[in-house]
Chain A
Amino acid sequence: MSSNDQNQASLDQSDKGASDASAMIGWDFIFSAIIIVFSIFVVANALTMPFSGTVGGVSTTWYESPGLLPLFVGTCLGTTGFIIFTKALKARGYDLFRHNLTKTDPRAFLLSGLGILSYIFVLVTWFDFFLASMAFLLLYIGIYYLGGDVLKRQMIIIYYATIIVGALVFLTGLNEAANAGYEFSTDFLLVLCIAAQIVALVAHARRTGASAGKKVRLVIILALVFPAFLVPTFRYFLLVPMPHEGLVVEDVFNQTYYGYLVPQKGGDETVLSDEQMNELENAF
């Protein structure tokens, strides 16, 4: 690299640094305003806590009050917010914030953040953990590992359509009617979602050629094998029940484990030797 190129690169770097710094001032402006509002909420809430007299049979004074630390924290937080706000305001924070708003592309955040939130708040909460994790992994690994605009669009549509339908079913109480006949009927929604995701992945492999085929196979295997390893490890080795056990965890894993594996184990263990019987009697 010639010295001219190096100079140009370092100038570009410093330009980028300066632009990042000015963008940060814009964000500081709005975030400090949020901190101030939040600190007002904390202080206002702390002031509703008992600072004197007797509440619920417990007498208190200001220095014993449960509101003392929140009041202190709220006040300090407000002060820090005010300092950041005034600094940002002096450095044209408001203008820079408005400029940031026009330039910001929230798609990357929405894709990564919303996916995790919907997995936690919708899928894990209401659906079988194995199926929920598989659908999530197919989406995330599919779009980040495989890429491709068409595939990305298809996977997002399938996943979020499932999220919306699932949320509607559970929020409106339709799940009770749906699960009246078979208690895990709603899990079939995720089975459909996973099937649609796999179809989209296979279509992607056909569109893009042999090398993509290998990758697609890897994605599907990983999305299937990882929860299949994780669930039994936590469920039967660490004795941690899954957040929601349904079509797969309850009806496949638990039925298999408790129906075929544990009774045999339990049968062996119930035969106690004389020595063990004596120990047991002595224990009481």
Chain B
Amino acid sequence: MNPLSIFAETLSNIAISPMLVAILFSSTFLGIVFGAMPGLTATLGVALLTTLTYGLEPETALVALLAIYVGGVYGGMYTSVLLNIPGTAAAAATALDGYPMAQRGEAGRAFGLATTSSLIGALIGMVFLALVSPLIAQAALQFTSYEYFLLALFGILISGSLTSPDLAVKGWAAGLFGIWLSTIGQDHIQMYPRFTFGMHALDSGIDVVPVLIGAFGIPQIMMVLESHLSLGGIKASMLGRILPDFRTLIKNARNIVSSALIGVGIGAVPGIGEDIAAWVSYGVARKSSKHPETFGKGAPEGIISTTVANQACIGGAIIPLLSLGIPGSPPAVMLLGALMLHNVAPGPMLLKQQPEFVPQVAAILFASAITMFVIGMILSKQVIHILRVPQSLFMPLIAVLCVIGSFALGLNTFNLYLMGIIGIISYFFTKLQFPIAPLVIGVILGPMADTALRTGLKTTDGSLLPFVTRPISLILVLVILAIVGSQIPAVNNAIRNLFSAMKRKAA
């Protein structure tokens, strides 16, 4: 069966099943509410929904999880535009122009632009997902253990560098701590118990989902409650009539294409997500605009670039997830955890054994994007009514959901303790500006790094030469050295001096 037929069949399966349509709409709506409410994120939404979808078929669960992911990234725009309070980090850049536009009484237009741009971004991301994933997976079949170890290391380092720009070392430390967490329990090769301290509950290692719920849920709950944030000022009447402004969108075709490419590209880089994609595309749109002075004052280009990029990033983030088993963004980390729970192990082998998986995921993404557009256009006012519920009423309920969610997956009280402890550690990490994304990526990629490193070395009797003799390994080693070197002032100065000397010579 060709991919287009699988795509069409999956779409028709969704469309003719009332249950799937109900799941699609309710998950997208829930995602929008999670995204719109500051403190609740798309990642937390995916995490909590993972628990509820555990008993469902993998395809049905995927519909719910992708729908909440798409809705969550889109929903962040609501409070950004109306109150200048970004619902999610991904929507922070949208506030720069969305809020001034709303202040001018054009909130409906801003919503229309953002919703239509989000749809376009999601669809472009989906096309890239469908086209690029099989190619990367095909190339990844040539990868050996060395490449997998280096990919894991690269993922943690790049995610650490980009999520902690002030001091990348902090991001790396968080990632390394995540890898350490993943080494707890019996190792997969010799069954030797590591860091178990005689506790049998730790023998089988730590479950990923309670760690993810703790890392993404508990710090958010604590910080929102401490901040006493209120969205009481938000009113449905602020919105006006929402209309898709196609003329402005056509005028911004170039902006849309460049933002989508940025979104997909950044999404595909492990561990960094929609927020960075939105900021970078905003910067590029501003630089390439004929009227950069209008940015920050309600320029439609600003809204279009950020919303296209953060939605395109979803497709981008799923590319390495499906083709390499390496998640491209924090919600994709959670998605990977959910897929693993359903005994689906993303990676090149999955795509080789089940080539229909990519078109299926693309179709679900397509359906989620259309649902997001429909809900965005029709039900925005209802979302705003829900947003008026005070956070102090909402957050304790989320805490109870986190607790039952962590317990439900393994029916193990130890998972609750794990979630609580990781939650408190993550709270301190966040307060001390150690990013959480590399930590969870470390937890996810740690087992792969461990097995790949030892298997690779075993095949060559401990020789490290393949790291530099295999072309892909060598490239990865050089990239890793460049990432590490870029944070060492002496190396930076030396490179700068080298380049200026070369320039002088050339002159």
A interface residue numbers (CB < 8 A to B): 24, 27-28, 31, 35, 42, 45, 49-50, 55-56, 58, 60-70, 72-74, 76-77, 80-81, 83-84, 87, 108-109, 112-113, 116-117, 119-121, 124-125, 129, 133, 136-137, 140-141, 144-145, 218, 222, 226-227, 230, 234, 238-243
The one of B176, B417, B423, B434 that contacts A76, using a Cβ cutoff of 8 Å: B176
Q: Cβ of B130: which chain A residues have Cβ within 8 Å of it?
A: none
Closest CB of chain A to B431's CB: distance in Å?
8
Closest CB of chain B to A255's CB: distance in Å?
21
Q: Is the CB of A112 within 8 A of B396?
A: no
Q: Is the CB of A69 within 8 A of B179?
A: yes
Q: Is the CB of B413 within 8 A of A87?
A: no
B interface residue numbers (CB < 8 A to A): 52, 54-55, 167, 169-170, 172-173, 176-177, 179-180, 183, 187, 189-192, 194-195, 218, 221-222, 225-226, 228, 390, 392-393, 395-397, 399-401, 403-404, 407-408, 411, 413, 416-417, 419-420, 423-424, 427-428, 431-434, 446, 449-450, 453-454, 457-458, 461-462
Q: Is the CB of A140 within 8 A of B225?
A: yes
Q: Is the CB of B218 within 8 A of A116?
A: yes
Closest CB of chain A to B497's CB: distance in Å?
22
Most B CB atoms within 10 A — which of A76, A84, A222? A76
Q: Cβ of A77: which chain B residues have Cβ within 8 Å of it?
A: 173, 176-177, 180
Closest CB of chain B to A58's CB: distance in Å?
5
Residue of B nearest to A70 (CB): B183
Main secondary structure of the interface of B (DSSP, over half): helix
Q: Is the CB of A112 within 8 A of B187?
A: no
The one of A66, A119, A136, A238 that contacts B189, using a Cβ cutoff of 8 Å: A66
A120, B419: Cα distance in complex, Å: 9
Q: Is the CB of B417 within 8 A of A62?
A: no
A137, B396: Cα distance in complex, Å: 6
A73, B390: Cα distance in complex, Å: 43
Closest CB of chain A to B383's CB: distance in Å?
20
The one of B190, B218, B416 that contacts A64, using a Cβ cutoff of 8 Å: B190
Q: A64-B458, A77-B176 are in contact. Are A45 and B396 (CB under 8 A)?
A: no
Q: Is the CB of A117 within 8 A of B424?
A: yes
A28, B393: Cα distance in complex, Å: 34
The one of A42, A230, A238 that contacts B400, using a Cβ cutoff of 8 Å: A230
A87, B187: Cα distance in complex, Å: 36
A-B contact pairs, 24 of them (CB 8 A): A27-B431, A31-B428, A58-B192, A64-B458, A66-B189, A68-B450, A68-B454, A70-B194, A73-B179, A73-B180, A74-B180, A76-B176, A113-B222, A113-B424, A124-B403, A129-B404, A136-B400, A144-B225, A144-B228, A144-B392, A145-B392, A222-B393, A226-B397, A243-B407
Closest CB of chain B to A38's CB: distance in Å?
8
Q: A116-B423, A136-B396, A141-B392 are in contact. Are A69 and B408 (CB under 8 A)?
A: no
Q: Cβ of A242: which chain B residues have Cβ within 8 Å of it?
A: 404
Q: Cβ of A140: which chain B residues have Cβ within 8 Å of it?
A: 225, 395-396, 399
The one of B176, B403, B461 that contacts A120, using a Cβ cutoff of 8 Å: B403
Q: Is the CB of A80 within 8 A of B169?
A: yes
Closest CB of chain A to B417's CB: distance in Å?
7
The one of B183, B413, B462 that contacts A63, using a Cβ cutoff of 8 Å: B462
Q: Cβ of A113: which chain B residues have Cβ within 8 Å of it?
A: 222, 424, 427
Closest CB of chain A to B429's CB: distance in Å?
9
Main secondary structure of the interface of A (DSSP, over half): helix
Most A CB atoms within 10 A — which of B401, B404, B420, B428? B404
Most A CB atoms within 10 A — which of B173, B407, B454? B173
Closest CB of chain B to A1's CB: distance in Å?
14
Q: Cβ of A141: which chain B residues have Cβ within 8 Å of it?
A: 392-393, 396
Q: Is the CB of A144 within 8 A of B396?
A: yes
Most A CB atoms within 10 A — which of B403, B428, B462? B403
Q: A80-B169, A136-B396, A141-B396 are in contact. Are A116 and B416 (CB under 8 A)?
A: no
A77, B172: Cα distance in complex, Å: 8
A60, B187: Cα distance in complex, Å: 13
The one of A62, A81, A121, A241 that contacts B462, using a Cβ cutoff of 8 Å: A62
Most B CB atoms within 10 A — which of A66, A70, A77? A66
Residue of A nearest to B420 (CB): A120
A72, B462: Cα distance in complex, Å: 15
Q: Cβ of B428: which chain A residues have Cβ within 8 Å of it?
A: 31
Q: A112-B222, A222-B393 are in contact. Are A238 and B408 (CB under 8 A)?
A: yes
Q: A42-B180, A50-B190, A113-B222 are in contact. List 6 more A-B contacts (CB 8 A).
A: A24-B432, A69-B183, A116-B420, A129-B404, A238-B408, A243-B404
A243, B149: Cα distance in complex, Å: 38
Closest CB of chain A to B341's CB: distance in Å?
14
A50, B191: Cα distance in complex, Å: 12
Closest CB of chain B to A14's CB: distance in Å?
16
Q: A42-B180, A63-B462 are in contact. Are A125 and B413 (CB under 8 A)?
A: yes
A136, B401: Cα distance in complex, Å: 12
Q: Is the CB of B420 within 8 A of A121?
A: yes
A35, B176: Cα distance in complex, Å: 11
Closest CB of chain A to B277's CB: distance in Å?
25
Q: Cβ of A222: which chain B residues have Cβ within 8 Å of it?
A: 393, 397
Q: Is the CB of A73 within 8 A of B176?
A: yes
Residue of B nearest to A218 (CB): B393
Q: A80-B169, A141-B393 are in contact. Are A112 and B454 (CB under 8 A)?
A: no
Residue of B nearest to A140 (CB): B396
Residue of B nearest to A240 (CB): B408
A121, B417: Cα distance in complex, Å: 7
Q: Is the CB of B180 within 8 A of A70?
A: yes
Q: Is the CB of B411 within 8 A of A240?
A: yes
Q: Is the CB of A49 within 8 A of B194?
A: yes
Residue of B nearest to A112 (CB): B222
Q: A24-B432, A226-B400 are in contact. Are A145 and B390 (CB under 8 A)?
A: yes
Q: Is the CB of A58 within 8 A of B190?
A: yes
A63, B460: Cα distance in complex, Å: 10
A83, B176: Cα distance in complex, Å: 14
Q: Is the CB of B400 within 8 A of A117?
A: no
Residue of B nearest to A120 (CB): B420
Q: Is the CB of A84 within 8 A of B167?
A: yes
Q: Is the CB of B454 within 8 A of A80?
A: no
A121, B461: Cα distance in complex, Å: 47
Closest CB of chain A to B475's CB: distance in Å?
21
A83, B490: Cα distance in complex, Å: 14
Q: Is the CB of B411 within 8 A of A241?
A: yes
The one of B173, B179, B393 that contacts A81, using a Cβ cutoff of 8 Å: B173
The one of A56, A112, A238, A240 that contacts B225, using a Cβ cutoff of 8 Å: A112
